[in-house]
């Protein structure tokens, strides 16, 4: 039997196949088909079934990472959506937090709300902060709002009332009325999508859910039909932003939870690979064409966040904390009129791309610098599928950078790389210091096609001493899906002081969420022994508006005294101090229902018999100048092998550069470990 | 063609610049993460900077433009009070006073720490944070009606708070106990000291990594580069001079509108900004101390000429500021300076107006709300477990630009503060939000429309809620540019929509609300850009459909023919 994970990226759809009998992993890649992403999935599966000799019936698990919802928001391709909201609050979606996105640059504006003002309709109703009804729902107004929205051609409706996280009766009744009048419409209520306090983030998340809902449904239908055509009979899972798997039915109801699908899987996979390799503290670094994703894993656990922006709209849902840096292989090098060399923020992206790709790119990029210095193969890339025009890259760097600065082309290319590395390093340091971590205690875990290319330079600049390069770094997200469990997040939101009187009620919130979680796990057919319920309380000192997360044990009771002690520890960890005797407020109670997915371990890498002969060698330019450098195929390497730099290690999805003076070893799991000299 | 300078090593400079900015970002993160008060932790009303031993600003991480370059005043004052050769390793200084120590207003407390390299003081780490209360008669220590600095809480001249690593507990306690929230003050001051210590360690690490000579060379390159970059932008402007004015509704206490006059002169590669003709210093707290004035000027220059410009001494060296002594922009002791942010935004209006005449139209921006409207409620908490003071600083409409409408409902210029969500405030306080919305009809008409103001209407749910406001722009709207019309004015109403409705003054103070009574502040909109008749009819049709103004207002401001075209196309 086989377990298959795949991740749909902007350029490629990546597959990882796990053979359950011997635990081995195989990787595959096919160009993405943005118009209908399921097309590349089908094509890829067909091709890899043929290549690896797999029959559809032998597939016991299918999990996928998708950017369908995210791209719909970025490209504004969702459906026409209406909003029904509490009287007085139709502009909440537009005012947001009343801040401008850039302090000094007024050409950067907030995005227009996904629901235009004309389609945001107020109705009389009101719940107060105690959850009491101040004003009953004006059902007549809801009906007329629904009719107006219907006439305006909306295909989805968000229903967002104030304090609905405390009492959802008005939202539920309004949804019922809207569904009666607009039976075809996709309806989302804020109390279902995100029952958490703070109206703007809740409304925004609910509206995005509605906006992407109908087209996500259609995509899922096509996806299921194609799997069916292939003869795959297992129900597929989708990875959600929190790094867990969920069923197609859940995605249909909560598509907004997939907004960080692929990157989350990559981080979850990285955490597991790193922990198994003996690296509990790593910073992941995933370099793509236009951007770089960074996340922190401490004590083997990825950092989680509760919100982020998707195309500048806030989405609040539990998620793996991934920071995006606007620097990648396509970042353009240029000289400003005061004589400084800059790399980025503009990017040549995939189109026109780097000069060396010969697709019309005229501006020298980071990738061009790597080609000119032969860090990347100056003849062809992607296993020979793409030819490289080194001379064109050379000429562009010479004309635009080297001559104006009075440098040689090699000096200019080295400068471009040094600056790009320092830009990335600054962003990585910022991500870690925001959380109070010291990078010296971390290892760097590069993935994505271009991560391992700069990893040792980035590590050196950040004061990191070890780098762990996983197998096929370019398919880490697909591999991570195979390491994920199925899970669903629940939340109860009400601000109460943590006292002996309130504590039983707080514990009661967990009991009711656990009951919901059990129902969901029943529906997902997870056997009892594979279930866990992870519990977290978001809490703060009275007077603060900023919560810290306190993790409770998975099962059993938890006393107020234990909670106070755990809060103190969490506050110290997060902020460096605690305030004894200050009142603590509980804000959100969160429960994650987890169904463990069985997965056999990957077998150990065979030990190296002897030092393999390099596949080839070429002259590569390092800080020390041109050096004749051996090129190894990664698949030819064995565990325990130590290769001195300079060396280049190629594999299907990536290239690892080992600089002179450094060395690389392969561990028992097949990871490359680079030791960085200070 | 701009002059291309010769930097000794542009690649090393760029790498160094990233390393420096990492240090200030790290200091800023440490300060924000570890602080207790909402003001620093959430509103990020704080800044950090690195200086060299001569007091030159090398790098700054400023989270609020009102702090841009403002640490220069504190560092200068510290160096005057204690020459660097008399500093010892482990010292840290504290100060806040606008007249004695280069402060901007009393709640902004700065901590300044020398950085020793091999036994010599070579650099200075500094930071400033807005403390929510430093004593005085008014909670928050800021009152528009304060008539002297002695009504604005504790004055701290340059004082050594840490001596060779030994914290002066008595002094810390003295500062803390002069505040209504002593625990917060002490915690946040300790965090400020620790943030500088962290910065010092990072600078020492950088010097160890690169060598002192290389750091000094790269610093000189970076300052020269920044100056060159700004000088190039100044050279792009035609030589000449332009003047513009902006008016405050009153001086904080009352009376007639108060003028701010800014004249900007391009003299080759230098900008001279002269405020001659501006009003005499205000009786109330609307005065702007030197550091706050400098921040506002730097903000305007950076925004209009080069948003990516690094704030360091290189930037400052191209700008000369002249402000007549005894005026609202250079007050004499003991003037009150607490409520300077409204005035700073009016200064920004005058500067933007003057620059609009000197820059090509695509860099210009019509006037915005150019105020920092504040409403303050105090009373009993919802669950009767104590009292509250709730301060909300509101946004409004931004001025339109050559290719875009102004943003609706955001903070402009020297501040950028988040709102408190309605659900959060109702949870805490005995208040209910009746409405939080954009003000229809408030965006100034134009080829591009000004942004809309914000209305916030709040009802007391229990007797005895005390309300005050500090607002402006109630008399005249934000002017449009190149034929654009002005934005809507601000309005403050008590019991709106009831027979008892009454309009209040922009500085209404200490009103006592009974349960069920409400107040509503509508903030100003932004000015339009270009003639309204030139607006794209499709954009006008969307505005009308969205109810951003009525069709009658559209006919009045945009003209009937355009409205006919717009509605036909809809």
Residue A502 contacts B where some CB pair is shorter than 8 Å: no
Is the Cβ pair A99, B395 closer than 8 Å?
Answer: yes
Question: For residue B218, is pLDDT > 50?
Answer: yes
Count of CB contacts below 8 A, A vs B?
A: 202
Band of pLDDT at residue B2, cut at 50, 70 and 90: very low
Each residue of A491-535: pLDDT tens digit?
A: 999 899 999 999 999 999 999 999 999 999 998 889 999 999 999
Question: What does the pLDDT read at residue B4?
Answer: 52
> What residues does each domain of chain B span?
10-225, 365-534
Q: Which of A327, A648, A280 is nearest to A468 (CA)?
A: A280
Is the Cβ pair B436, A575 closer than 8 Å?
Answer: no
Is the Cβ pair A129, B436 closer than 8 Å?
Answer: no
Question: What does the pLDDT read at residue A557?
Answer: 86
Band of pLDDT at residue B570, cut at 50, 70 and 90: low
Mean pLDDT of B418-429: 92
Q: Count CB neighbours of B272 within 10 A.
A: 14
Question: What does the pLDDT read at residue B273?
Answer: 98
CA of A412, closest CA in chain B: separation in Å?
A: 9
Tokens of A248: 């197609």
Chain A residues 436-455 with CB within 8 Å of chain B: 436
Candidate from A154-163, A180-189, A635-644, B222-231 with smallest mean pLDDT:
A635-644
Residue A129 contacts B where some CB pair is shorter than 8 Å: yes
Which residue does chain A place closest to B394, by CA atoms? A98
Band of pLDDT at residue A555, cut at 50, 70 and 90: confident
Q: Give dist(CA B272, CA B301) in Å, integer.
A: 11
Interface predicted TM-score of the whole assembly (ipTM), two decimals? 0.94
Band of pLDDT at residue B377, cut at 50, 70 and 90: very high
Band of pLDDT at residue B172, cut at 50, 70 and 90: very high
Q: Which residues of chain B neighbour A547 with C-beta distances below 8 Å?
A: none
Three-state DSSP class for residue A313:
strand
**Contact (CB, 8 A) for A161 and A131:** no
Band of pLDDT at residue A289, cut at 50, 70 and 90: confident
Is the Cβ pair B229, A338 closer than 8 Å?
Answer: yes
Q: Give dist(CA B112, CA B131) in Å, integer.
A: 16
Using CB atoms, pick whichever of B38, B437, B457 lies closest to residue A91: B437
Provide the pairing of β-strand A647-651 with A654-658: antiparallel
Is the Cβ pair B225, A91 closer than 8 Å?
Answer: no
Is the Cβ pair A104, B542 closer than 8 Å?
Answer: no
Band of pLDDT at residue B3, cut at 50, 70 and 90: very low
Q: What is the 3-state secondary structure (H, E, C) of A85-123?
A: EECCCCCHHHHCCCCCCCCCCCCCCCCCCCCCHHHEEEE
Is the Cβ pair A197, B21 closer than 8 Å?
Answer: no
Query: How far is Cα of residue A254 from the mean position of the Cα atoms in its chain?
Result: 17
Residue A198 contacts B where some CB pair is shorter than 8 Å: yes
Each residue of B544-560: pLDDT tens digit?
A: 999 999 999 999 999 99
- Integer Rg of chain A from CA: 26
Question: What does the pLDDT read at residue A291?
Answer: 85
Q: Give dist(CA A443, CA B285) in Å, integer.
A: 53
Between these two residues, A631 and B145, which has the higher pLDDT value? Answer: A631
- CATH no., domain A78-211: 3.40.50
The helices-and-strands tally (H runs, E runs) of chain A is 17, 35
Tell me the percentage of chain A whose pLDDT exceeds 70.
99
> What residues does each domain of chain A span?
2-72+217-261, 78-211, 268-321+421-481, 331-419, 486-595, 616-675
Each residue of A33-43: pLDDT tens digit?
A: 888 999 999 99
Is the Cβ pair A110, B426 closer than 8 Å?
Answer: no
Average pLDDT, rounded, for chain A:
92
Cis? peptide before A352, omega within 30° of 0 = yes
Each residue of A251-276: pLDDT tens digit?
A: 999 999 998 887 899 999 999 999 99
CA of B459, closest CA in chain A: separation in Å?
A: 13
Question: What does the pLDDT read at residue B5?
Answer: 54
Residue A148 contacts B where some CB pair is shorter than 8 Å: no
Question: For residue A564, is pLDDT > 80?
Answer: yes
Q: What are phi and psi of A312, to 5 degrees?
A: 75, 5
Chain A residues 535-564 with CB within 8 Å of chain B: 541, 543-546
Q: Count CB neighbours of B406 within 10 A.
A: 35
Mean pLDDT of A622-631: 95
- CATH no., domain A2-72+217-261: 3.30.420.40
Q: Which residues of chain B neighbour A434 with C-beta distances below 8 Å?
A: 29, 33
Q: Which of A470, A467, A423 is nearest to A266 (CA)?
A: A470
Which residue does chain A place closest to B393, by CA atoms? A98
Q: Which residues of chain A neighbour B394 with C-beta distances below 8 Å?
A: 98
φ/ψ region of A198 (left if φ > 0, alpha if ψ in -120 to 50, else beta) reads left
Mutate to test the interface with A, among B66, B201, B436 (most CBs of A within 10 A): B436
Question: For residue A359, is pLDDT > 80?
Answer: yes
Band of pLDDT at residue B569, cut at 50, 70 and 90: low
Is the Cβ pair A100, B435 closer than 8 Å?
Answer: no
Dihedral of alpha carbons B35, B37, B40, B42, sign: positive
Residue A354 contacts B where some CB pair is shorter than 8 Å: no
Question: What does the pLDDT read at residue B252?
Answer: 87
Q: Give dist(CA A87, CA A141) in Å, integer.
A: 11
Mutate to test the interface with A, among B349, B422, B540 (most CBs of A within 10 A): B422
Question: What does the pLDDT read at residue B1?
Answer: 37
Tokens of A107: 């050409």
pTM over 0.90: yes
Each residue of B325-353: pLDDT tens digit?
A: 999 999 999 999 999 999 999 999 999 99
Mention every residue, 6+ apart, whose C-beta is less than 8 A from residue A555: A532, A533
Using CB atoms, pick whichever of A92, A107, A435 lies closest to residue B436: A92
Dihedral of alpha carbons A199, A200, A205, A206, sign: positive
Q: Give dist(CA B287, CA B325) in Å, integer.
A: 12
Each residue of A9-31: pLDDT tens digit?
A: 877 899 999 998 888 889 998 88
Mutate to test the interface with B, among A339, A409, A424, A548 (most CBs of B within 10 A): A339
Each residue of A221-235: pLDDT tens digit?
A: 999 999 999 998 899
Question: For residue B224, is pLDDT > 70?
Answer: yes
Which residue does chain B place closest to A542, by CA atoms? B428
CA of A446, closest CA in chain B: separation in Å?
A: 21
Using CB atoms, pick whichever of A90, A337, A405 lies closest to residue B437: A90
Question: For residue B152, is pLDDT > 50?
Answer: yes
Q: Which residues of chain B neighbour A338 with C-beta distances below 8 Å?
A: 2, 4-5, 225-226, 228-229, 232
- CATH no., domain A268-321+421-481: 3.30.420
Q: Do domains A2-72+217-261 and A268-321+421-481 have the same CATH topology?
A: yes
């Amino acid at each position: 039997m086989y377990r298959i994970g795949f991740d749909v990226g902007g350029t490629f759809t990546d597959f990882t196949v796990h053979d359950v009998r011997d635990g081995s992993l195989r990787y595959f890649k096919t160009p993405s088909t943005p118009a209908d992403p399921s097309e590349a999935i089908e094509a890829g599966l067909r091709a890899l079934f043929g290549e690896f000799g797999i029959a559809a019936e032998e597939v016991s698990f299918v999990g996928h990472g998708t950017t369908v919802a995210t791209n719909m928001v970025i490209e504004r391709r969702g459906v026409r959506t209406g909003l029904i909201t509490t009287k007085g609050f139709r502009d909440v979606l537009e005012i947001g937090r009343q801040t401008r996105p850039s302090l000094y640059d007024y050409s950067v504006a907030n995005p227009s709300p996904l629901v235009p003002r004309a389609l945001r309709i107020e109705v009389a109703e009101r719940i107060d902060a105690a959850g009491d009804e101040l004003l009953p729902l004006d059902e007549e107004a809801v009906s007329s709002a629904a009719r107006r929205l219907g006439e305006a051609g909306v295909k989805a409706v968000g229903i967002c009332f104030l304090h609905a996280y405390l009492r959802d009766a008005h939202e539920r009744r309004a949804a019922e009325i809207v569904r009666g009048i607009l039976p075809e419409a996709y309806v989302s209520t804020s109390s279902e999508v995100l029952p958490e306090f703070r109206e703007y983030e809740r409304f925004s998340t609910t509206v995005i859910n509605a906006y992407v809902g109908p087209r996500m449904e259609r995509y899922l239908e096509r996806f299921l039909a194609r799997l069916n055509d292939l003869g795959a009979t297992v129900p597929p899972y989708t990875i959600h932003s929190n790094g867990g798997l969920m069923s197609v039915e859940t995605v249909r109801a909560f598509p907004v939870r997939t907004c960080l699908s692929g990157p989350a899987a990559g981080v979850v996979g990285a955490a597991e690979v790193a922990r198994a390799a003996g690296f509990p503290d790593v910073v992941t670094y995933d370099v793509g064409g236009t951007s770089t994703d960074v996340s922190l894993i401490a004590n083997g656990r990825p950092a989680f966040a509760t919100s982020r922006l998707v195309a500048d709209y806030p989405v609040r849902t539990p998620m793996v904390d991934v920071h995006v840096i606007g620097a990648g292989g396509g970042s353009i090098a240029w000289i400003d009129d005061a004589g400084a060399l800059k790399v980025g923020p503009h990017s040549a992206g995939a189109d026109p791309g780097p000069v060396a790709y010969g697709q019309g790119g005229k501006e020298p990029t980071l990738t061009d610098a790597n080609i000119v210095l032969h860090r990347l193969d100056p003849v062809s890339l992607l296993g020979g599928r793409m030819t490289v025009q080194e001379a064109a890259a050379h000429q562009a760097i010479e004309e635009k950078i080297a001559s104006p600065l009075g440098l040689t082309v090699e000096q200019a290319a080295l400068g471009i790389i040094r600056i790009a590395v320092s830009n990335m390093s600054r962003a990585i340091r910022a991500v870690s210091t925001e959380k109070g971590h010291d990078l010296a205690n971390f290892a760097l875990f590069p993935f994505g096609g271009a991560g391992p290319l700069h990893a040792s330079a980035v590590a050196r600049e950040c004061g990191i001493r070890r780098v762990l390069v996983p197998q096929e770094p370019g398919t880490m997200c697909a591999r991570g899906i195979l390491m994920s469990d199925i899970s669903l997040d629940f939340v109860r939101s009400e601000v109460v002081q943590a006292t002996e009187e309130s504590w039983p009620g707080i514990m009661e919130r967990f009991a009711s969420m656990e009951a919901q979680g059990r129902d969901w796990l029943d529906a997902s057919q997870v056997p009892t022994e594979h279930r866990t319920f992870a519990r977290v309380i978001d809490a703060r000192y009275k007077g603060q508006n900023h919560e810290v997360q306190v993790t409770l044990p998975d099962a059993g009771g938890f006393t107020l005294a234990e909670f106070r002690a755990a809060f103190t520890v969490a506050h110290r960890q997060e902020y460096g101090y605690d305030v004894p005797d200050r009142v603590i407020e509980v804000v959100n109670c969160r429960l994650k229902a987890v169904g463990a997915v069985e997965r056999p371990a990957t077998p150990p890498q065979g030990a190296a018999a002897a030092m393999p002969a390099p596949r080839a060698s070429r002259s590569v330019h390092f800080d020390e100048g041109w050096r004749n450098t051996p090129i190894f195929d990664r698949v030819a390497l064995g565990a325990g092998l130590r290769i001195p730099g300079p060396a280049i290690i190629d594999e299907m999805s990536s290239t690892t550069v080992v600089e002179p003076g450094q060395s690389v070893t392969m561990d028992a799991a097949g990871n490359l470990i680079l030791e960085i000299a200070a | 063609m701009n002059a291309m300078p010769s930097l000794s090593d542009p690649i090393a400079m760029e790498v160094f610049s990233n390393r420096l900015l990492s240090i200030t970002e790290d200091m800023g993160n440490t300060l924000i993460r570890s602080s207790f008060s909402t003001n620093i932790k959430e509103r990020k009303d704080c800044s950090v900077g690195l200086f060299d031993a001569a007091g030159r600003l090398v790098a700054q991480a400023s989270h609020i433009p009102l702090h841009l370059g403002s640490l220069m005043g504190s560092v200068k004052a510290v160096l005057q009070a204690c020459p660097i050769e008399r500093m010892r390793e482990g010292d840290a200084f504290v100060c806040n006073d606008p007249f004695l120590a280069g402060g901007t207003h009393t709640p902004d407390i700065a901590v300044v720490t020398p950085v020793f390299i091999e036994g010599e003081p070579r650099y200075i780490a500094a930071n400033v944070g807005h403390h929510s209360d430093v004593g005085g008669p008014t909670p928050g220590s800021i009152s528009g009606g304060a008539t002297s600095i002695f009504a604005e809480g504790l004055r701290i001249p340059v004082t050594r708070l840490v001596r060779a690593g030994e914290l002066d507990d008595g002094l810390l306690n003295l500062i803390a106990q002069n505040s209504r929230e002593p625990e917060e003050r002490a915690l946040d001051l300790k965090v400020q000291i620790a943030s500088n210590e962290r910065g010092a360690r990072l600078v020492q690490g950088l010097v160890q990594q690169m060598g002192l000579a290389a750091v000094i060379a790269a610093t000189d390159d970076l300052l020269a580069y920044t100056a060159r970059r700004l000088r190039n932008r100044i050279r792009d402007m035609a030589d000449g001079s332009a003047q513009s004015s902006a008016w405050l509704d009153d001086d904080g206490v009352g009376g007639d509108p108060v003028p701010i006059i800014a004249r900007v002169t391009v003299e080759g590669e230098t900008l001279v900004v002269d405020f001659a003709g501006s009003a005499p210093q205000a009786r109330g707290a609307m005065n702007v101390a030197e550091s706050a004035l400098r921040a506002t000027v730097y903000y305007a220059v950076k925004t209009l000429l080069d948003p990516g410009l690094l704030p360091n001494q290189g930037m400052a060296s191209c700008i000369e500021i002249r402000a007549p002594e005894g005026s609202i922009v250079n007050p004499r002791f003991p003037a009150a300076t607490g409520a300077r942010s409204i005035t700073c935004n009016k200064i920004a209006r005058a500067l933007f107006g003057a620059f609009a005449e000197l820059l090509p139209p695509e860099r210009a921006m019509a006037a915005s709300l150019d105020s920092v409207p504040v409403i303050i409620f105090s009373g009993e908490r919802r669950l009767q477990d104590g009292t509250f003071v709730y301060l909300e600083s509101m946004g409004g409409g931004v001025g339109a630009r050559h290719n875009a409408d102004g943003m609706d409902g955001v903070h402009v210029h020297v501040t950028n503060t988040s709102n408190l969500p309605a659900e959060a405030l109702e949870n805490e306080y005995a208040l209910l939000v009746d409405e939080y919305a954009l003000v229809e009809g408030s965006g100034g008409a134009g080829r591009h429309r000004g942004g809309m103001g914000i209305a916030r209407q709040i009802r007391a749910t229990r007797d005895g809620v005390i309300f005050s406001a500090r607002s402006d722009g109630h008399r005249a709207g934000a002017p449009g540019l190149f034929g654009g019309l002005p934005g809507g004015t601000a309005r403050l109403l008590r019991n709106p929509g009831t027979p008892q409705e009454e309009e209040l003054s922009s500085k209404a103070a200490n009103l006592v609300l009974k349960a069920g009574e409400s107040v509503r502040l509508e903030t100003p909109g932004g000015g339009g850009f270009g003639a309204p008749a030139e607006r794209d009819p499709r954009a006008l049709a969307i505005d009308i459909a969205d109810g951003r103004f009525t069709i009658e207002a559209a006919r009045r401001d945009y003209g009937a023919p355009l409205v006919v075209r717009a509605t036909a196309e809809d």
